[in-house]
């Protein structure tokens, strides 16, 4: 999943978000899923905003995960 919420000529050429994320959602005994991708936060966005948008995106893609607990969440700049 690549979620881009801000655009610009440099980002469009780059083809990836400014941040990389990994999230694991769990419903113990029922279901768990790990997803990774890139994300570009909107100007003035916070880490909490990013977490909520990513969580919502993952649960929208898999409604069975709605209400799942977060076992792991990582958000870091996507540049080495």
Question: Strand ranges (DSSP E) for the chain?
Answer: 2-4, 19-27, 31-40, 69-77
The per-residue pLDDT for range 25-61, each reduced to its tens digit, is: 999 999 999 999 999 999 999 999 999 999 999 999 9
Question: 9-18 long-range CB contacts below 8 Å, 24 or more apart?
Answer: 11/40, 16/78, 17/78, 18/77, 18/78, 18/79
pTM of the predicted structure, to 2 decimals: 0.78
Per-residue pLDDT at 21 exceeds 70? yes
Give residue 60's pLDDT: 97
pLDDT band for 1, please (50, 70, 90 cuts).
Answer: low
- The structural domains of the chain, with segments of one domain joined by +, span 2-77
């Amino acid at each position: 999943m690549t979620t881009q919420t801000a655009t610009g000529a440099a980002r469009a050429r780059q083809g990836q978000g400014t941040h990389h994320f990994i999230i694991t959602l769990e419903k113990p005994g029922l279901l768990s899923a790990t997803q990774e991708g890139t994300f570009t936060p909107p100007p003035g966005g916070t880490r909490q905003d990013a977490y909520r948008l990513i969580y919502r995106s993952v649960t929208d893609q898999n409604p069975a995960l709605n209400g799942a607990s977060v076992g792991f969440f990582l958000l870091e700049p996507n540049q080495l």
